[in-house]
Amino acid sequence: MFYVRSHEPSDPSSCAPRRGARPAVSEGRPPRWPRPPSCLPAAGLVTPPSGVRVAVAGIVICRQRPGTAKGVIFVTLEDETGVANVVVWAKVFERFRRAVIAGRCLKVTGRLQRDGDVVHVVADTIEDISAMLDEIVGVDEVRTAREAWRS
């Protein structure tokens, strides 16, 4: 948990450090986390305070556009550390429509929003980085092998 210096927790035992965990605040300074354009792993979304600007990246595992959400789209990104929930408002969706609809892997920069244990990134910019997946797999090598097998 992150506490502002002037905030005193109601239950001091809730601040007790976990075994092997680094303290969230050291000597009155805010915690450190990668700032944009560097991406924060999904598991690291617990470190920054609510309202700060963060960037996350991952494979799109779910897109939801509920009819009752007034144009809001919810995207779930997964990386090797966990999942990140992304909220895409209608105006942001209009600007980055292609990336939101067709992207297999996205980089999202936005504001961190925390409500209890639920953490969301409210998107400001969305970048389709699906081409990086092709580099990982080595698509050119796969195509060459497939063409050699067919001939």
Domain boundary assignment for the chain? 33-150
**How far, in Å, CA of 36 to CA of 93, rounded?**
20
pLDDT at 12 over 60: no
- The CA distances from residue 146 to 76, 133, 139, 140, 142, in Å, are 33, 18, 10, 10, 6
- The CA distances from residue 122 to 55, 88, 116, 139, in Å, are 10, 6, 16, 33
Residue with the larger pLDDT of the pair 97 and 145 = 97
Mean pLDDT computed over 55-82:
92
Nearby residues of 49 by Cβ (< 8 Å), 6 or more positions away: 2, 4, 30, 112, 114
Q: Which residues pair with 128 in a beta bridge?
A: 106
Question: Residue 134's pLDDT is what?
Answer: 77
Percent of the chain with pLDDT over 90: 46
**How far, in Å, CA of 123 to CA of 111, rounded?**
7
**How far, in Å, CA of 92 to CA of 110, rounded?**
11
Overall CATH class of domain 33-150: mainly beta
E strands, the chain, in order: 53-64, 73-79, 82-88, 105-115, 118-128
Closest CA to 43 of 90, 87, 81: 81
Residue with the larger pLDDT of the pair 136 and 50 = 50
**How far, in Å, CA of 8 to CA of 14, rounded?**
11
